[in-house]
Amino acid sequence: MSKKTLNGADTDKYLLPYKGDMLSCDRVTTILGATKGSGGLAQWYGREERKAIQEIVSWLPTVSMLKEDERQFAEVEGIRTAVLSLPTDDDDDLFASRIRDSKADSGTNIHTLINIDATGQKLPADVVITEDEWRRFTYWDKFRRDEGIEYVDSEMRVYSPNLLVAGTLDLTFKWKEVFWLGDTKTGRLKRDAAVQSVIYWLLRQETLAIQTGDVDTQMRFARDYKLGIVPEVEWPRFGIVHIEDERVEFYEVDPKLPNALARNFMYRLYLYRQDQVMRPFRRLHPAPRVLKDGTSKQNIWLRAS
């Protein structure tokens, strides 16, 4: 269950002020993550691998085998205790999940450093930057300075009251007099980064239309989304700033693909929303239990897992 906060932090939802009310928007990254075809299978692999590891660890040398080496015994028992105590039915507490969360924290801090560089803001008091995070930020900093890249926007909250989705656009900048939308990645480069970048541009255009009071553009976006088509816009260049452990890489998204990538997201958004409400099962046997007052519980349709 997601935690809901006013600014949408650490949650699957963004809660945003809109026309005197609060607009509840799904996060773009949540939709992309939930509509990966192999997601459930990957979790199953993770759980089964942990069970196998625990079975192997249970056969580690026993006390009698290590009684002459107290230090080695303590190390082995520490490993055994730690591994056997890990749950096998919690997808958010697998080894890979812990590594993912650790890398996500590091990536967030690198995003913070780039935003500070772009805006001149001060580092928040509760953010502690590690030596590794600072080193990796300098790769981007050197590349930006050497190439004469000029920031335009940084960490811009973008949303659509029509699609009810939102996200935080990392960067827009000018490079050699060309306008780019940049998405910063500190983990493995994934194809969904291209989908994410394109939908952020559409959200940015709609957000700017709301902020400037451009009613014609707002109405056009509302009409096109209602018809299930991608609004016609002038696409920028899309770039992925991939900050690795030892260097920064810059990838361009194929300029021929933005419309196709936008349609990909809209289809996945439809599937995501459908999955939230679809309830395909109803138990026919055994029948609902009859209560003391002669009534029985309603035989409701179930979502299951």
Read off the pLDDT band of 8 (50, 70, 90): very low
Position 198, amino acid: V
pTM over 0.85: no
Q: Is 223 left (phi over 0), alpha (psi -120 to 50) or beta?
A: alpha
Angstrom distance (rounded) from CA 86 to CA 79: 11
Decide: 210 and 219 in contact? Cβ < 8 Å: no
Q: What confidence tens digit (pLDDT) does each residue in 206-265 have?
A: 999 999 999 999 999 999 999 999 999 999 999 999 998 899 999 999 999 999 999 999
* 116's tokens: 């500070």
Alpha helix (H) residue ranges in the chain = 28-34, 39-57, 70-84, 95-119, 131-147, 192-212, 215-227, 258-277
pLDDT at 198 over 80: yes
Confidence band of 9 (pLDDT split at 50, 70, 90): very low
More confidently predicted of 9 and 198:
198
Confidence band of 6 (pLDDT split at 50, 70, 90):
very low
Residue range 67-96, pLDDT digits in tens: 566 666 676 677 667 666 766 666 555 555
More confident residue, 57 or 272: 272
Contact 45, 35 (CB under 8 A): no
Inter-axis angle of helices 131-147 and 95-119, to 10 degrees?
50
Mean pLDDT of 161-189: 95
**Model confidence at 103, in pLDDT bands (50, 70, 90)?**
very low
Mean pLDDT, the chain, rounded, equals 85
